[in-house]
Amino acid sequence: MGTVTMNLNELIQLDNTYHMTTYSRLPVTFVKGKGTRLWDDTGKEYLDLLSGIGVVGVGHCHPVVVDAIKNQLESLMHVSNLFYTEPQLELASKIADISFGDRCFFGNSGAEANEGAIKLARRYAKIRGKDAYEIITAFRSFHGRTMKTLAATGQPDKQRPFEPLPPGFKHVPLNDIEALKKEINGKTCAVMLEVIQGEGGVYPCDESYLKEIRALCDERDILLIFDEVQTGIGRTGNMFAYQGIGVEPDIMTLAKGIASGLPIGVLVASEKVSLSFKPGEHGSTFGGGPAVCAAALATIKVIEEEGLVDNSRKIGAHIVQKLEAIKESGSLVKEIRGAGLMLAIELKEGKAGGIVLDLLKEGIVANNIGNTIIRLLPPLCITKAEVDEALSVLERLIV
Ligand SMILES: *Cc1c(COP(=O)(O)O)cnc(C)c1O
């Protein structure tokens, strides 16, 4: 078990004393991960249906990713963005290859990628001589924890403790095109959406809604930003969620699933939009470092070579089919939402927190959003047999 010397109770003590009181954690400490499995300090094995929070798509400690990071660390860890480095530029060209985008900028988190997207959208408008800086986002959205991305996040209860928030954001109900039209005016520089809202409870955008928004944005030269921090990289049964609906954004942000757990945020944009940034207008000390980019390149390679996008779609459909059967059997299940391996089970009663704790006792890691939604974000490499094993436990707990 490596270098672990403290038990769970000792860690809880340290957390209660020395860590800021920002997280409510589950009562477990993991010391090892391999593929879809995790082990705690007592040696108990768990099936992971969460992957971090949709981070470890290729599975824990994938040997190809671990080797790529190790090799990079042994030759070069850091030099700053004052110099050219191969992993960063190879990764930028790879992302351009597999997406609508032409150019990338690398930061260290989802929030930072979204900060970059907001700056880029404002810059794009300003260069065109427009006094447009407002960004329209959806209620229930989640775009990050920095002040600007918190202002973008359409969740008043998360915002209120930190008011006043930076200005320039308007929120509209999701999938209501008329509500969006009402908010668009000469001050609007962008519309920013998650193709499937993640933290808000796994609520997908309608295809027709996104198509109408795309047309509206084209008409008025307003940018369409897709926050694919959670949906990105194979999670929804497509490499990127926008590909599943056939609506391309002008800007896309990535983070969670792209580097298997090393910190990364990617701002991706079309050539025309990318060129709005001039040298010196945006930057990052750590962003796009050699090790994290080597990890991302290896992660994408594994996703491609192991057919994980297809697996995500196939296994996702299998889970939905089984969950619908559980729902029909008159259980607590109210609704199943999501795509691929980004799924939510909404319950008729507020029992999600208790069920997630019960699952943990049974050796299954899942997540609840509020007390009515159970969220599943399993590794993209999960098998049908593993899913069946987990769902039979879930069915027992949920009925
Ligand atoms: C997690 C998440 C973020 C924030 O990412 P961090 O890396 O925690 O800053 C932003 N947008 C979406 C859609 C997310 O799911």
What ligand 1 atom has the least distance to the C-alpha of 146? 9
Q: Give the three-class secondary structure for 303.
A: helix
266 domain residue, yes or no: yes
pLDDT score for 4: 73
What are the backbone dihedrals phi and psi of residue 143, each rounded to the nearest 5 degrees, phi first? Answer: -125, 0
pLDDT score for 252: 98
Q: Whose CA is nearest to atom 6 of ligand 1?
A: 110
- Whether residue 169 lies in the annotated active site: no
From 55, 106, 142, the mutation candidate for ligand 1 (largest count of ligand atoms within 8 A of CB) is: 142
87 domain residue, yes or no: yes
8 A C-beta contact, residue 256 and residue 242? no
Catalytic residue among 100, 105, 142, 226: 142
- Whether residue 227 lies in the annotated active site: yes
Q: How many CB atoms lie within 10 A of CB 173?
A: 12
143 domain residue, yes or no: yes
Output b/e per residue, 227-259; b: 16+ Cβ within 10 A: bbbbbbbbbbbbbbbbbbbebbbbbbbbbbbbb
- pLDDT, mean of residues 238-252: 98
- Whether residue 162 lies in the annotated active site: no
What ligand 1 atom has the least distance to the C-alpha of 231? 13
138 Cα–ligand 1 center, Å: 15
173 Cα–ligand 1 center, Å: 20
50 Cα–ligand 1 center, Å: 15
pLDDT score for 2: 56
| DSSP label at residue 346 | E
What is the residue type of 278?
A: K
Catalytic residue among 40, 227, 277, 327: 227
Number of domains observed in the structure of the chain: 1
pLDDT in tens, 340-378: 999 999 999 999 999 999 999 999 999 999 999 999 999
Q: Following CA atoms 303, 305, 307, 309 in sequence, which dihedral angle do they give, to the nearest 10 degrees?
A: 30
165 domain residue, yes or no: yes
256 domain residue, yes or no: yes
What ligand 1 atom has the least distance to the C-alpha of 149? 10
Mean of pLDDT over the chain: 97
pLDDT score for 340: 98
Paired with 344 in beta bridges are 337, 375
From 153, 256, 375, the mutation candidate for ligand 1 (largest count of ligand atoms within 8 A of CB) is: 256
110 Cα–ligand 1 center, Å: 4
What would the DSSP string read from start to end of 198-211? TTTT-EEPPHHHHH
229 domain residue, yes or no: yes
345: left (phi over 0), alpha (psi -120 to 50) or beta: beta
Q: Give the three-class secondary structure for 275.
A: coil
pLDDT score for 330: 80
Where residue 124 sits, what CATH number does that domain have? 3.40.640.10
User: Locate tokens 């082990």: which residue?
Assistant: 39
143 Cα–ligand 1 center, Å: 6
132 domain residue, yes or no: yes
263 domain residue, yes or no: yes
Residues whose beta carbon lies within 6 Å of some atom of ligand 1:
109-111, 114, 142-144, 194, 198-199, 227, 229-230, 255-256
pLDDT-above-90 percentage for the chain? 98
Catalytic residue among 148, 170, 256, 327: 256
Give helix 290-305 / helix 86-98 axis angle, nearest 10°. Answer: 40
95 Cα–ligand 1 center, Å: 19
pLDDT score for 3: 67
Does the pLDDT of residue 1 top 60, yes or no?
no
Q: Whose CA is nearest to atom 10 of ligand 1?
A: 143
**Chain centroid, CA 137 distance in Å:** 17
Residue span of the structural domain in which 106 resides: 63-305
**Chain centroid, CA 21 distance in Å:** 23
Does the pLDDT of residue 331 top 90, yes or no?
no
Confidence band of 336 (pLDDT split at 50, 70, 90): very high
- pLDDT, mean of residues 304-319: 98
Q: Whose CA is nearest to atom 8 of ligand 1?
A: 110
